[in-house]
Each structure stands twice: as C-alpha cells, then as structure tokens.
C-alpha cells in the first residue's frame, strides 16, 4: 500500500441542488478527488471547520471522547479504495504502546473526525488518486 499525504481542500454545499461534495487534495502534487457525501456529514464537517462548539457532544465528538477514555487516539485517516464509484476509508487507531487497530469507515465520517483532530494526518492510497484524481 502506497499512501500519499493529503488534506481537505474544499467543502461544497449546494442546498439548492441538494449536492454535498468534499475535495481531498495531495500535499505534494496537483491531484484532488471529489467525494460525494450526505447532508448530515457535510454539516458535521463544515461546523467543525468553522469551529462551532455545542454544549453537548455531537456524534463525532462523542467518538473522540470514547477514544480518549479508553486510552486510544486516531493516528491516521486513510482513504484506501474506490469500488464502483464508492470510496472506502479506515481509521488507524493506536495508543502510546504498540497496539494499533484499523477500523473500516466511510470517508465522510473519517473526515468529520479528522477536522476535529487537526494533528491527525490524512493519507490516500496512490491507486485511488490515480483513478479518481483530477487536476
């Protein structure tokens, strides 16, 4: 698996057409991939990027709280595959010891966590960038 460092470059929310797309771009290159997501995930990502806070934890905040409570952290967010137009992602979780766990997830949920954990790197499989990447 050849993973390339990337970042969340744009969130496109078009309420009129009910279209929600996030763009992930290479850190060292010019390719970017568009990922269509649901409206709830788009709002969750957009709110976190804008720094909005709520008195009670939302779902992605809850997940982060649970990770912290059990001594784990999100070490990487990975977009690892593209099948029939659907992107696949995983979270690489770990602790200060040697334990690491990979969790299958949707890219939208992975990115909603990542924007809440700015130190977490976003990595994309080279084959995904080669297939779906656009300048």
Domain count, the chain: 1
Model confidence pLDDT, tens digit, residues 47-64:
899 989 888 988 999 999
Q: What is the pLDDT of residue 13?
A: 82
Can you tell me which residue has the tokens 């690489």? 92
Q: What is the DSSP string of 12-37?
A: EEETTTTEEEEEEEESSSS-EEEEE-
Q: Which two tokens stand for residue 107?
A: 């890219």
* CATH code for position 128: 3.10.690.10
| pTM listed for this prediction | 0.91
Q: Which structural domain range is residue 53 located in?
A: 3-132
Model confidence pLDDT, tens digit, residues 69-114:
999 999 999 999 999 999 999 999 998 877 899 999 999 999 999 9
Q: What is the DSSP string of 33-94?
A: EEEE--HHHHHHHHHHHTT---SS--HHHHHHHHHHHTT-EEEEEEEEEEETTEEEEEEEEE
Mean pLDDT of 117-132: 95
């Amino acid at each position: 698996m050849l993973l390339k460092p990337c970042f969340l470059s744009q969130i496109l929310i078009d309420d009129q057409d009910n279209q929600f797309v996030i763009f992930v771009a290479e850190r060292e290159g010019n390719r970017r991939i568009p990922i269509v997501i649901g409206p709830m995930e788009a709002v969750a990502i957009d709110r976190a990027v804008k720094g909005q806070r709520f008195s009670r934890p939302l779902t992605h905040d809850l997940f982060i709280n649970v990770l912290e409570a059990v001594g784990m952290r999100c070490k990487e967010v990975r977009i690892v595959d593209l099948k029939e137009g659907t992107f696949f992602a995983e979270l690489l979780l770990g602790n200060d010891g040697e334990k690491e766990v990979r969790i299958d997830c949707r890219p939208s949920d992975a990115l909603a966590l990542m924007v809440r954990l700015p130190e977490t790197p976003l990595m994309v499989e080279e084959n995904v960038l080669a297939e779906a990447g656009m300048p």
